Amino acid sequence: MSTALLLPCYSATCRQAARAISQHYSEALRPAGIEGTHFTLTALVRSFPGSTASEIGARMVMDKTTLTRTLRLMEAAQLISWRPGQDRREKRWTLTEHGEAVYQRAYPLWEQVQRDMRQAFGEDVLAAWQGQTFQLAATLANSASLGHADRTP
């Protein structure tokens, strides 16, 4: 039985869902030796080799501090490496051979979790949830505010 509490705050509810889903995926990916968040970033870097941290952050809607910390952890784990861009301060991230091997081990585990989620919740429910959640994230990421800057306390 769940002891989760339905909170009145939209942000808190999203964070509850994100934590629960992340924990579920991380548990499933553990045999491959990778966390869920690292798997997602590995897949992204694999799909867009040579991306900068800014490009990765924009695609993932991650703040710079969290992303930088995560990229450093992934670099230390030898999943990714960087090369300088045209501007020497710019880092262009790519998957290492080790990162590719881990990804190949993790991908079937990820696919199984995806199937399990579809079986548990239904394709239609997940597609609607994913579409609505993405729209919410994209709208908020692309807008400076929802009008709260104009409000006075």
- pTM to 2 decimals? 0.85
Average pLDDT, the chain: 92
Residue-wise pLDDT for 48-100, tens only, equals: 999 999 999 999 999 999 999 999 999 999 999 999 988 888 999 999 999 99
Q: In this structure, is the dihedral angle defined by the CA atoms of residues 108, 109, 114 and 116, taken in order, positive or negative?
A: positive
Give the orientation angle of helix 97-121 with respect to helix 123-142, to 10 degrees.
120
Q: In this structure, is the dihedral angle defined by the CA atoms of residues 53, 34, 135 and 16, taken in order, positive or negative?
A: negative
Asked whether 52 and 85 are in contact (CB, 8 A), the reply is yes
Which residues make beta-bridge pairs with 83? Answer: 92
Extents of the domains making up the chain: 34-114
pLDDT at residue 145 is higher than 60: no
Residue-wise pLDDT for 116-131, tens only, equals: 999 999 999 999 999 9
CATH fold label, 34-114: Arc Repressor Mutant, subunit A (1.10.10)
